[in-house]
Amino acid sequence: MSNSIPSSVSYEPTGQRLPVKTGPLLELENLSTHYVSSGGTRVVRAVDQVSLRINAGETLGIVGESGSGKSTLALTILRVLPPAARIVEGRMLFDGEDLVQKSDAEMRHIRGKRIAMILQDPMASLNPLFTIGDQVAEPIRVHEGAGRATAWQRARDLLKSVRIPSPETRVTQYPHEMSGGMRQRIVGAIGISCEPRLLIADEPTTSLDLTIQAQYLNLLRAHGLALIFITHNLGIVAKMCDQLAVMYAGRVVESGPVSRIFNAPVHPYTEALLNSIPRMGDSAQRLTAIEGQPPDLAALPRGCAFAPRCDRVFDRCRVEAPPEFAPAGRRTARCWLAAADSTPSDMLVQSGTA
Partner 1 sequence: MAVLEASGLTKHFHAKRGILGGERGVVRAVDGISFSIEPGHTLGVVGESGCGKTTTAKLVLGLEDPTAGTIRFEGRDLQGLDTAGRRHYRKSVQAVFQDPYASLNPRMRVDAIIAEPLVTNEPLSAAEARSRVLQLLDLVGLPSRAADLFPHEFSGGQRQRIAIARALALSPKLIVLDEPVSALDVSIRAQILNLLRDLQAELGLSYLFIAHDLAAVAHMSHMIVVMYLGKIVESGEARTLARTPKHPYTEALFSAALPSHPDERREEIILSGEVPSPLNPPLGCRFHPRCPHAMARCADEEPMLQDVEGRLVACHLYDAAEHRALIRIAAGVSQVS
Smallest gap from residue 289 Cβ to partner 1 (A) = 4
Indicate the pairing of strand 251-257 with strand 85-94: unpaired
Smallest gap from residue 347 Cβ to partner 1 (A) = 28
Please pick, from the candidates 40, 129, 286, 349, the single residue that binds partner 1 as defined by CB under 8 A.
286
Distance of CA 32 to the CA centre of its chain: 16
Chain positions 133 to 172 lying near partner 1, rule: CB under 8 A, are none
Please pick, from the candidates 105, 287, 299, 349, the single residue that binds partner 1 as defined by CB under 8 A.
287
Please pick, from the candidates 103, 293, 345, 350, the single residue that binds partner 1 as defined by CB under 8 A.
293
* CB-based contact 339:321 (threshold 8 Å): no
Smallest gap from residue 236 Cβ to partner 1 (A) = 6
The 10 Å Cβ neighbour count of residue 31 is: 25
Give the whole-angstrom CA distance, residue 257 versus residue 15.
Answer: 23
Binding part of the chain for partner 1, among 3-11, 222-230, 259-267, 342-350 by CB under 8 A, reads 259-267
Give the whole-angstrom CA distance, residue 250 versus residue 301.
Answer: 13
Give the whole-angstrom CA distance, residue 261 versus residue 254.
Answer: 8
Contacts of 29 (CB under 8 A, 6+ apart): 51, 90, 91, 92, 93, 352, 353
263 sits near partner 1 (criterion: CB under 8 A): yes
Give the helix/strand (H/E) hosting 43: strand 43-55
Please pick, from the candidates 225, 236, 252, 337, the single residue that binds partner 1 as defined by CB under 8 A.
236
Counting beta carbons within 10 angstroms of the beta carbon of residue 101, is it exposed (0 to 12), middle (13 to 18) or buried (19 or more)? exposed
Please pick, from the candidates 43, 147, 262, 308, the single residue that binds partner 1 as defined by CB under 8 A.
262
Of the CA atoms within 13 Å of residue 152, those in its CB half-sphere come to 13
Contacts of 138 (CB under 8 A, 6+ apart): 151, 190
Please pick, from the candidates 91, 232, 313, 341, the single residue that binds partner 1 as defined by CB under 8 A.
232
Please pick, from the candidates 14, 127, 169, 276, the single residue that binds partner 1 as defined by CB under 8 A.
276
Chain positions 48 to 87 lying near partner 1, rule: CB under 8 A, are 65-66
Q: Which is nearer to partner 1, 24 or 268 (CB)?
A: 268
235 sits near partner 1 (criterion: CB under 8 A): yes
Smallest gap from residue 352 Cβ to partner 1 (A) = 26
290 sits near partner 1 (criterion: CB under 8 A): yes
Give the whole-angstrom CA distance, residue 80 versus residue 327.
Answer: 34
Q: Which is nearer to partner 1, 43 or 212 (CB)?
A: 212
Please pick, from the candidates 238, 300, 321, 328, the single residue that binds partner 1 as defined by CB under 8 A.
238
Smallest gap from residue 67 Cβ to partner 1 (A) = 9
Chain positions 205 to 224 lying near partner 1, rule: CB under 8 A, are 209-215, 218
99 sits near partner 1 (criterion: CB under 8 A): no
Residues paired with 255 in a beta bridge: 245, 332
Q: Which is nearer to partner 1, 176 or 279 (CB)?
A: 279
16 sits near partner 1 (criterion: CB under 8 A): no
C-alpha angle 90/247/122, rounded to 5°?
A: 95
Give the whole-angstrom CA distance, residue 278 versus residue 42.
Answer: 38
Smallest gap from residue 273 Cβ to partner 1 (A) = 6
Chain positions 108 to 137 lying near partner 1, rule: CB under 8 A, are none
301 sits near partner 1 (criterion: CB under 8 A): no
- Dihedrals phi, psi of 93, to nearest 5 degrees: -90, 115
* CB-based contact 54:24 (threshold 8 Å): yes
SS3 188: helix
Q: Which is nearer to partner 1, 97 or 209 (CB)?
A: 209
Give the whole-angstrom CA distance, residue 65 versus residue 253.
Answer: 13
Instruction: Name the residue among 260, 258, 346, 250 with its Cα closest to residue 45.
Output: 250
| Count of residues of this chain found to bind partner 1 when the rule CB under 8 A is applied | 43
Interface with partner 1 (CB under 8 A): 65-66, 179, 181-182, 209-215, 218, 232-239, 258-259, 262-263, 272-273, 276-283, 286-291, 293-294
